[in-house]
């Protein structure tokens, strides 16, 4: 069984992002970049399935600038067998990424695609769902447990009322939630081994996919700074302020 795991290069979650002075976007110059945490969970889950003998090959995929090769090497250090980079300088939207992944899936013919439920930079939470629609495959989002058995994926997912268990006929799409697993620490020997693994580079045009943006960012601004709180002497004053100043009642 072959598993594809898309991974995205994002600003590291420990970095405090800053908006550019001209308001055109977020400043990523000289900022630490890392693999999207939800995608790291996806790579870990695929690796564990391989170690359990359920999967024979794990292929990591990324789309973006040349530096995304570093993200793919990290995925291969965790356990992916090889990597594929769709190299482009164009800012990719979820639909464009889904189309690129569909083109690669048509070529690679995997039985399972595991990806993070969302990226921490745009928080779109769209790529997995769009990919499932394009491929016509069943999907299970926000997975907290994945079990492969008898040509099916049994996925436990988190919903508002608790947990829901779905049985998907393979091939299928699964998006990962935080509680699915805890990614392993990448060791130096595995980092060295990852450098020798195959990493193929292709272009969107080679896959026949148009990645021209459909959206235009008009302005990016920081949230308004919150004012300091005050202490009121009694409930009557509190209600009066909520009514006259905050205007929430």
Closest CA to 81 of 1, 197, 191: 197
Reported as a single tens digit per residue, the pLDDT across 147-157 is 998 889 999 99
Helices (H), 117-176: 127-135
Higher per-residue pLDDT: 212 or 224:
212
For 4-28, write each residue's pLDDT tens digit: 999 999 999 988 888 888 888 888 8
pLDDT tens profile 62-103: 999 999 999 999 999 999 999 999 999 998 999 999 999 999
pTM of the model: 0.85
186 φ, ψ to 5°? -80, 120
For range 188-200, the mean pLDDT: 94
Contact 71, 61 (CB under 8 A): no
36-56: pLDDT as tens digits: 999 999 999 999 999 999 999
pLDDT at 220: 87
Residues 61 and 92: their CA atoms lie apart, in Å, by: 14
Q: Are 6 and 72 in contact (CB under 8 A)?
A: no
Q: Within 10 A of 71 (CB to CB), how many other CB atoms are there?
A: 24
Order of all β-strands in the sheet with 57-64: 162-169, 152-159, 139-149, 172-176, 112-116, 2-6, 57-64, 82-87, 199-202
Report, in angstroms and rounded to the nearest whole number, the Rg of the chain calculated over CA atoms.
21
Write the CB contacts of 192 (distance below 8 Å, at least 6 apart in sequence).
Answer: none
- pLDDT digit string, tens, across residues 107-146: 999 999 999 999 998 899 999 999 999 999 999 999 999 9
Can you tell me which residue has the tokens 């995925």?
75
Residue 173 pLDDT grade (very low, low, confident, very high; cuts 50, 70, 90): very high
- Select the more confidently predicted residue: 217 or 59: 59
Average pLDDT over residues 198-203: 95
CATH number 3.40.50.300 is the correct assignment for the domain at 2-246: no
């Amino acid at each position: 069984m072959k598993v594809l795991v898309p991974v995205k290069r994002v600003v590291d979650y420990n970095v405090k992002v800053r908006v550019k002075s001209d308001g055109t976007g977020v400043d990523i110059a000289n900022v630490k970049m890392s693999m999207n945490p939800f995608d790291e969970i996806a790579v870990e889950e695929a690796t564990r399935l391989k170690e359990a003998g359920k999967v024979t090959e794990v292929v990591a995929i990324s789309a973006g600038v040349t530096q995304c090769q570093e993200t793919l090497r990290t995925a291969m250090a965790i356990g992916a067998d090889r990597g594929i980079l769709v190299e482009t300088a164009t800012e990719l939207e979820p639909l464009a990424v889904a189309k690129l992944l569909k083109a690669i899936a048509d070529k690679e013919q995997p039985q399972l695609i595991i990806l993070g439920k969302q990226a921490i930079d745009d928080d779109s939470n769209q790529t997995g769902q769009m990919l499932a629609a394009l491929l016509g495959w069943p999907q299970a989002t926000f997975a907290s447990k994945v079990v492969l058995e008898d040509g099916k994926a049994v996925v436990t997912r988190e919903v508002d009322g608790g947990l829901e268990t779905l049985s998907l006929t393979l091939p299928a799409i699964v998006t990962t939630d935080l509680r699915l697993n805890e990614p392993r620490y990448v060791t130096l020997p595995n980092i060295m081994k990852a450098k020798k693994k195959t990493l193929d580079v292709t272009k969107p045009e080679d896959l026949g996919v148009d990645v021209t943006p459909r959206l235009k960012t008009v302005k990016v601004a920081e949230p308004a700074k919150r004012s300091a709180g005050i202490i009121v002497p009694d409930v009557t004053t509190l209600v009066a302020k909520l009514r006259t100043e905050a205007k929430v009642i």
